[in-house]
Amino acid sequence: MEEQCEFNFIVADDHTIVRQGVTFILKEIHKNSCVYQLANFSEIIKRLNTTPIDLLVLDISFPDGTSLNIIPTIKKIQPNIKILIFSAFDENIYAIRYLNAGASGYLSKLSNEDEIKLAIKSVLNSGKYISKNIQEKIMDTYIFKKPKNPLEQLSNREIEIAKLLVEGFSNIDICNTLNIQKSTVSTYKNRIFEKLDVDNLSSLIQIFNFYKDKKE
């Protein structure tokens, strides 16, 4: 039966409704394709071991970066597979990481139907899809050559203070333990936020947890 499939797709997402929505679009684009709807990682692996897949549309539900390493795992089984990340999380923080890890595209769930179709077609035809937003981001990274791991931009002192902030210490705590003025701590905080392009502690914590164990 697989021989009647023009393409083999996997749609992996824990939400049924999303799987079905994506399946519907895939069938619209390629009527004679087979779509495997899967809800978790082990199902994906099982399927990859039995069926050559052209495109995997992959939801990433965990913002902590654990799903990053599933990409090489998948590619080890099927090196030519195209992976389109379909994510509810903000492009700005994650997209480039996933593309570097070997994904063929990163698509926001906020995208309208045309964009979704475009992404799928692009990945199938040219092997990649990069949204306007991400293109700009990459330009930034290349032209201003920011390091891949944004934490590397921080000076030693800045990292020291960022870490304390992330661990929950107040400015006053920090200024006491480091014996500096509170205004100094604030200045650091500002510089850290600026360098990492965030504007609240919550985002700092996210970035920190995301990148702390990653080599650039």
Note the residues at the interface with DNA (CB under 7 A): 155-158, 170-172, 178-191
Q: Which does 172 bind (CB under 5 to 8 A by kind): DNA, a copy of itself, none?
A: DNA
- What is the torsion angle, in degrees rounded to the nearest 10, for the CA atoms of residue 164, residue 167, residue 172 and residue 176? -50
Q: Which does 185 bind (CB under 5 to 8 A by kind): a copy of itself, DNA, none?
A: DNA
Min CB(61)–DNA separation in Å: 21
Residues 32-71 that bind a copy of itself (CB under 8 A): none
CB 9 within 8 A of CB 57: yes
- Torsion over CA: 83, 86, 92, 93 (sign): negative
DSSP state of 9: E
Q: For residue 186, give both structure tokens.
A: 């604030």
Q: Is 17 in the site for a copy of itself (CB under 8 A)?
A: yes
Q: Is 111 in the site for a copy of itself (CB under 8 A)?
A: yes
Min CB(80)–a copy of itself separation in Å: 26
Q: Is 203 in the site for a copy of itself (CB under 8 A)?
A: yes
Closest CA to 151 of 186, 198, 113: 198
Determine the 3-state secondary structure of 114 from DSSP: helix
Closest CA to 99 of 53, 62, 135: 135
State which of residues 113, 140, 152, 194 lies at the interface with a copy of itself (CB under 8 A).
113
| Torsional class of 148: left (φ above 0), alpha (ψ -120 to 50), beta (otherwise) | alpha
CA angle, 167 then 169 then 171, to 5°: 135
Region from 76-84, 127-135, 159-167, 174-182 binding a copy of itself, contact rule CB under 8 A: 159-167
Q: Is 177 in the site for a copy of itself (CB under 8 A)?
A: no
Place of tokens 């905080």: 189
Min CB(215)–DNA separation in Å: 20
Q: Is 1 in the site for a copy of itself (CB under 8 A)?
A: no
* Residue 100 or 190 having the CB closest to a copy of itself: 190
Q: Contact residues for a copy of itself (CB under 8 A)? A: 14-18, 20-22, 24-25, 86, 88, 109-113, 116, 165-170, 199-203, 205
